[in-house]
Homo-oligomer: A and B are copies of this chain.
């Protein structure tokens, strides 16, 4: 079977092992108990708006989120009803709508971040110092990987 191929030098990264580790981590991470009762798509839209740092046109959101355009229109309507986003006209295009995150909407992301940190902290405390250092050392690379992934989203 040869489950641990030693063709790779052990200081290099086995992509398959990386995927496995991420899948394992996310299996736990995704199930972190959460306070808000918002759907996956809803949270994804709020997250996209927050990380974009500015308003996004409805049509552009249909590309990053995997929802149909009518579905997104209704989702934005619900979010607007709940005060998490605002629709504003696009000054440069009378047809378009710019979806703005409100302060309350931004707060959702922040509180989820705080919540995750609160749950992760005691677990991280139980790691060895070497393990904590190992993770700390990988953070810049993980962040870089995410940047690379977002740079060319469809390839």
Given contacts A126-B148, A135-B141, A138-B137, contact A119 B155 (CB under 8 A): yes
A12-66 residues at the B interface, CB under 8 angstroms: 12-33, 40, 44, 47-48, 51, 64, 66
Q: How large is the interface on A (under 10, 10 to 19, 20 to 34, 35 or more residues)?
A: 35 or more
Assess the A21–B142 pair: CB atoms within 8 A: yes
Report the copy number of this chain in the oligomer. Answer: 2
If over half of A's interface residues share one DSSP class (helix, strand or loop), that class is named, otherwise mixed; here it is helix
A88 at the interface (CB under 8 A from B): no
Partner of A15, one of B28, B121, B138, B153: B121
List A residues at the B interface (Cβ < 8 Å). Answer: 10-33, 40, 44, 47-48, 51, 64, 66, 113, 116-117, 119-124, 126-127, 129, 131-146, 148-150, 153-155
Which residues of chain B are within 8 angstroms of A144 by Cβ–Cβ distance? 127, 131
Give the chain B neighbours of A123 by CB distance below 8 A. 145, 148-149
Q: Which residue of B lies closest to A48 (CB)?
A: B27
Residue among A126, A142, A143, A153 facing the most chain B CB atoms (10 A cut-off): A142
Residue of B nearest to A154 (CB): B33
Not counting A15-B120, A23-B113, A124-B145, a sample of 20 additional A-B residue pairs whose C-beta atoms are within 8 angstroms of each other reads: A11-B136, A12-B129, A13-B135, A14-B136, A15-B117, A18-B120, A18-B135, A23-B47, A25-B142, A28-B145, A28-B150, A29-B146, A29-B149, A31-B64, A31-B66, A123-B148, A131-B140, A135-B145, A137-B137, A138-B138
Q: How far is the CB of A124 from chain B (nearest CB, A)?
A: 6
